[in-house]
Structure 1
Amino acid sequence: MARPRDIEKIYSNAEFVAKLRRLADAIEQGDRFEIQIAGERIYVPAKASFSVEHERSEGEEEIEFQIKWSNG
């Protein structure tokens, strides 16, 4: 069983755009998406669910593009 993990990685604009393009291509083609984050390769299945979250607090706003799936 994988151990718990909570990582946030900052990317340059060019790196972020490239990852989004690869993700969009994988979704359109019905393929799994592979990404390496902080040294760990993650395999996102084609049937993952996608959502967009918006948070607002004192002087800050955040949009998160989320991808969720079950391992099992």
Structure 2
Amino acid sequence: MGKDERDVERIYSTAAAVAKLRRLADALEKDRPFRIQIAGERIRVPRRAELSVEHERGDGEEEIEFQLTWSLNEDDDKDDVEDDEDEV
């Protein structure tokens, strides 16, 4: 059974965004998976996830998007995960 499609976006204070990015950076630096709770759903980002940065410009706006991508078909990493989770 596949997961339902969804598209969730929230705006955070600078302090909250920094805390979330710091936890993610620590997990990436340690080559560990990362857990985060987004709109009530717990998401486990495996350490094999690919990180990309996207830049868009148009209609008087610019956007930079940091994106983690991984396949749901592959087995998840079995390594330990950071215990604390963020709500997004």
TM-score w.r.t. structure 2 length?
A: 0.79
Structure 1: 5+ residue runs without aligned partners? none
Q: Which runs of 4+ in 1 moved over 4 A?
A: none
Q: Larger relative contact order (C-alpha < 8 A, sep ≥ 6)?
A: 2
Identity over aligned pairs, percent: 64
Select the structure that is richer in strand: 1
Q: Across the two proteins, how many residue pairs are aligned to each other?
A: 72
Partner of 1:3: 4
Per the alignment, residue 43 of structure 1 pairs with: 44
Greater shift in the superposed pair: 44-53 or 9-18: 9-18
* Pairwise CA RMSD: 0.7
Unaligned runs of 5+ in 2: 74-88
Matches within 5 A, 1:1-72: 1-72=2-73
